[in-house]
Each structure stands twice: as C-alpha cells, then as structure tokens.
Amino acid sequence: MGFYNITIRSAKSRAGFVFLQPFSVLAVKFVMPMTKQCTTIFILLILFFSSCEKGVEFKLDEVTPKLVVEATIENGGAPVVYLSKSQAYFSQIDLTALANSFVRNAEVYVSNGTRIHKLKEYVVPIGPGISFYYYSNDPASPATAFVGQLNKQYSLRIVTEGKEYTAVTSIPDTTRRIDSVFWKPAPAGNLPEKVAVMLRGYDPPGFGDYIRYYTKRNREDFYPGLNSVYDDQVIDGSSYEVQVERGILRNGSTSEGYSFFDKGDTVTIKLSNIDKATFDFWRTMEYTYVSVGNPFSSPTKVVSNIRGGGLGYFGGYASQFRTIIIPQ
C-alpha cells in the first residue's frame, strides 16, 4: 500500500503581482495499491493542483478623465467653484498631481434668476512651482455680481474643452436652528482633559430639513464631521440634544478620542441647512470614504447633480454659527 500527502496552495493576483497563500493545508490520502493506473492518477492530480499557482493579471481599461466640480454658494458669500480632472484608480496622488489636475481657462457662469455673472479664475500659490486655482466673483463686473441669499435658487453653467455642464441648487432657510451650545466631561475611559461639546436644537414639523455641520477649534479651519450630513427622519418636529463630534481633516488620520475637544479650546460650530441634492452627494461620498478598504461594505455610487457627464456637486448652504469657550 502507498500513502501520499498533497499540500494545495492557491494564488491570488492584484495589479499583475502574484501572491501565494496557504490554502488550508489539505492532506489527501489515497488508499490503493501502487499500480500504473494509480501512478497516472497521482500525476494528473499533481498537475491539476500545481495549476492553482498560475498568476493572473488584471488589466484595467483606460478611462477618459472626467470633469470634477466642487461648487458652493453660501448665504452672504460669493459663489466658489473648483474644477479638476478625475484621476486613474491606481494613479499616485501627491501635491503636484493634484495641482496639475486643476482645469484652467474654463467659462463659468452662475445665475440667481435675475443676474448672470461670469466668474473669474484665481490662482493661489502654495509652494515652488505649485498653485491651486478656483473661480469666484469678478470685481471687474460688479453690476452682475451677487452673494448668496436665503430661500433663493441658483444655476451653474460651465464650458470647457468644447463641453457644457450645468447644475441647479438652492439655499434653503435656516430651519434647523441652534438654540444653545454647552459642554460636559467626556465619558469614562477618556483622558481627563477631554470634553464633549453638546448642541440643543429644534427641527420644525415637516420632513425635508437637511443639514451639514463643521467645527472650528481655536485657529484651525472649519472641518466637517466624519459623518457630517443628517436628515430629520427621527427628530422631525421636536427639540433635541446631541453631541457635536469634532470635525476632521479628510487626508489626515483619526486617533482614539478624536471626536472630543480639550479643556481650554475655543470651539465654533457651523450648522448649514442644505437641499436634498447636496445631502445626497455628501451622504454617498462619506459612506464611500469610511468604507474604503472594507471588504464587507456594499458598492456605492456617489450621487452627483452635475449634468453633462461631470462628477461632483453644486451645493447651497444656509449657515449659522455658535462659539463656546471651554474653561481650563
């Protein structure tokens, strides 16, 4: 009698590189006489299992870059539009690549229904040979320039490289109001200097009050929360109290206790009412952001309100602010 132990290994490939992984070492025992037929079967099995180690290469199709639009208008503020080109999935992203992705010399128009204003391109140098670009009100055309107002609708039109892109948004009323802001010690298990900033607010009856929030800590910029947009499905028509988690820089990293502030901080909360299109964009965008690398998450398509084949969004913000100084 002859006995044979066969170890099986499987191969996984990604981007042309082959990785071998143990595939739960499998001992297969053949209890049969060592005949010619048995030897033939054994050889065939060896050839079959060895084929599992063949590398597989995936070649992604080349995709034409698309226009990416990030356009906003806020009550009391001028419209601001950033235009860039989408990047390949496996492309290396750094400061130079981002700077080179900006779309220059586009024709950008914003209308409030009575005026149509052509925006001006501005340049912001950020380092040797590297600049960012954006579009906003042109001081040379004051007759058509305007700033955002509550309860107004706005349209955006972009012409670049022979293509036209359009979008519509609105600045709603400040229906989700901030009544008060206070702080309390962070829950047990956190450092003693950590505090939770709390907000008391009110949502009027009637579904459809969407918000996005940001926080500003001391001299930092305003950063949105990890989950920054909310609807009123649960709190409709009621007063509520909720913790305001500290906003984060998206290209940074978060640590344990990141959602709390410190004693001695000056914290400003920005609460912006938004329309549903803006809510849908950020809801799907943030879900995609937090699920990157999670093999159990569902695929999500980021919802855009840009017509003409572009990506991104045009959003209106009805913003209100509250500041609290947390004592040492």
Residue 8 has pLDDT above 90, yes or no: no
Secondary structure percentages of the chain, helix, strand, coil, to 5:
10, 40, 45
Lowest mean per-residue pLDDT among 1-10, 39-48, 101-110: 1-10
Which sequence spans correspond to the domains of the chain? 9-53, 67-171, 177-325
CATH of 67-171, one of 2.60.40, 2.40.160, 2.30.30, 1.10.150: 2.60.40
* Length of the chain measured in residues: 328
114 pLDDT higher than 90? yes
| Cβ pair 197, 324 in contact under 8 A | yes
CA 106/CA 100 separation, integer angstroms = 15
Tokens of 115: 């005026």
Residue-level pLDDT at 30: 34
The reported pLDDT for the residue numbered 169 is 98
pLDDT tens, 162-209?
A: 999 999 999 999 999 999 999 999 999 999 999 999 999 999 999 999
User: What is the pLDDT at residue 254?
Assistant: 75
Q: Residue 40's pLDDT is what? A: 57
pLDDT > 90: percent of the chain: 67
Which two tokens mark 61? 């199709």
User: Where does the pLDDT of residue 39 fall: very low under 50, low under 70, confident under 90, or very high at 90 and above?
Assistant: low
Tell me the three state secondary structure of residue 218: coil
How would you write 294-324 as a 3-class SS string? CCCCCCCCCCCCCECCCEEEEEEEEEEEEEE
Residue position matching structure tokens 């988690």: 245
Q: Check if the beta carbon of residue 317 is closer than 8 Å to that of residue 272.
A: yes
Q: Residue 166: what are its φ and ψ, rounded to 5°?
A: -135, 160
What is the per-residue pLDDT for 27?
35
pLDDT at 75: 98
Query: Which of the two residues, 318 and 27, has the higher pLDDT score?
Result: 318
**In this structure, what DSSP letter does residue 2 have?**
B
CB atoms inside a 10 Å sphere around CB 46: 12
Q: Compare 236 and 14 and report the one with higher pLDDT.
A: 236
For 257, which DSSP code? T
Q: What is the pLDDT of residues 64-107, one digit of tens each?
A: 899 999 999 999 999 999 999 998 766 677 778 888 899 999 99
- Residue 18 has what pLDDT? 29
pTM, two decimals, is 0.78
Query: DSSP alpha helices (H): ranges in 191-321?
Result: 276-291
DSSP 8-state assignment for residue 327: -
Flag whether pLDDT at 298 surpasses 80: no
Task: Give CA–CA dist 225/202, Å, rounded.
Answer: 20
